[in-house]
Amino acid sequence: MQNQPVVSVHEITKTYGKANEKQYQALKGITFDVQTGEFVGIMGASGSGKTTLLNILSTLDRPTSGTVAINGQDVTALKGDKLSDFRAKQVGFIFQDFNLLENLTARENIALPMALQNVSHSRQQQAVDKIAATLGIAAVLDHYPTELSGGQKQRVAAARALVQEPAILFGDEPTGALDSQSARELLNTMQGLNQQQGVSILLVTHDPFSASYAQRILFIKDGQIGQELRHGDKTQEEFYQEILDTLGTFQK
């Protein structure tokens, strides 16, 4: 573990609405760190602020106040090309609905972030082959998304997110559109990337089973972190049960 967290969030607030109108405070002073190589889950009911938080962490939105540092860089201060460049290289993102381009092959979809950065074709191909081998999708690289199963699409999306070896991988309900078998395979893959390759992961989910793969879970309620659970040396089944019990009391 390095001393410097890969993500450091300090007193983040987010208020919607103009000053002279009715305002809504989605986030109310959130502070936490994600250590290098950590797998953190964020849980909360809809409307709790978890999506707003993820959008700010992934540089898609800006906080009203507070700071977010990723890999030591204050992303709340970045603008324009510098922000786009930083996002492309340092942040990986897996969405619920895959967000693959239908007219590109799996290989081309995975290479897209590098192509947009004008990385040489040979380096693109090397990077794609490497991550495809890691995720077990080398055999489908020349297929189009319409020819892939849901689980394969999500692995292609994960490969695209990881091809530039970002500092952090963000997952936004990445198992939401998958059947239970594909969901389990994706979660096992993410856990493997975390444990064997040291990929830092922040997973936003409402699903207790998905969350049970994380080492630590932050529960958000009404725009604040209300509770934290640690996996520790519990079995996954025990941790899953603890999450269920916590949700039962936390959401009342």
Which structural domains are found in the chain, ordered by start?
A: 7-250 (3.40.50.300)
Output the six-digit token pair for 236. 């996954």
> Tell me, what DSSP letter sits at residue 164?
T
* CB-CB contact of 193 with 212 (8 Å): no
Pairing relationship of beta strands 7-16 and 65-70 according to DSSP bridges? antiparallel
Residues forming beta bridges with residue 170, ordered by sequence position: 93, 202
Regions of the chain where pLDDT drops below 50: 1-2
Asked if residues 219 and 44 have their Cβ atoms less than 8 Å apart, the reply is yes
204 closest CA partner among 47, 41, 57, 10: 41
Residue 145 identity (one-letter amino acid): P
CA distance 64 to 14: 5
pLDDT of residue 252: 60
d(CA 58, CA 87): 8
Q: How far apart are CA 70 and CA 39, in angstroms?
A: 15
Strands of 152-198, DSSP E: 168-172
The span from the CA of 95 to the CA of 106, in Å, is 16
| Model pLDDT, residue 241 | 96
Contact between 215 and 231 (Cβ < 8 Å): yes
